[in-house]
Amino acid sequence: MSRIPSIPITSTSSAIAPSSFALIGSPSATNSGDLPNKIRKGVGRLSENMHILANDPSLALFCLQEHIRKEVPNIIKQRTEFSNQHRVLQGTCYDIDYSIGAMKSTEKAAEEFDSIQNHLRNALFLKQQLKFEETRRKKRTKE
């Protein structure tokens, strides 16, 4: 970017004073001997404003570049951590879904478990009856 030549100024104001331009065309300004000073001040302010306008965008872009340079590695690190946590969470969700399915299938199997329990009771009862009959036969054969 080319540098704009500036005229030395006496004021540090960055705003162009509208009164500077109004005085140039007025009859009192043309009659007085301070017209060159007023023109120099007006041109100096204009030069300063042009310099600020020319350099502020580059300063803003520099600040933006520095911010990006500092923050992008952090953003990449957070993104990889997020991806890893997402993978772990997804695996946990699959495990939970599998566990829920297993629990629902055991709830459906409650009737079968009740049937098995009844069959076991019947088997124990029949075994007791057989044992009783066997002991009774032994007693009869001894008599």
Q: What is the pTM of this model?
A: 0.40
Q: Are 48 and 6 in contact (CB under 8 A)?
A: yes
| Residues 34, 39: Cα–Cα separation, whole Å | 9
pLDDT for residue 27: 53
Residue 15 confidence class, pLDDT cut points 50, 70, 90: very low
Half-sphere exposure for 70 (CA within 13 Å, toward CB): 6
Residue 21 in this model has a pLDDT that exceeds 70: no
Q: How far apart are CA 109 and CA 117, in angstroms?
A: 12
Q: What is the pLDDT of residue 93?
A: 96
Q: Look at 55 and 21; give whichever has higher pLDDT.
A: 55
Mean pLDDT of 77-96: 96
pLDDT of res. 8: 47
Could you tell me if residue 6 is left (phi over 0), alpha (psi between -120 and 50 degrees) or otherwise beta?
beta
Give residue 91's pLDDT.
96
What type of residue sits at position 19?
S
Give the pLDDT mean for 61-88.
94
- Tell me what pLDDT residue 86 has: 97
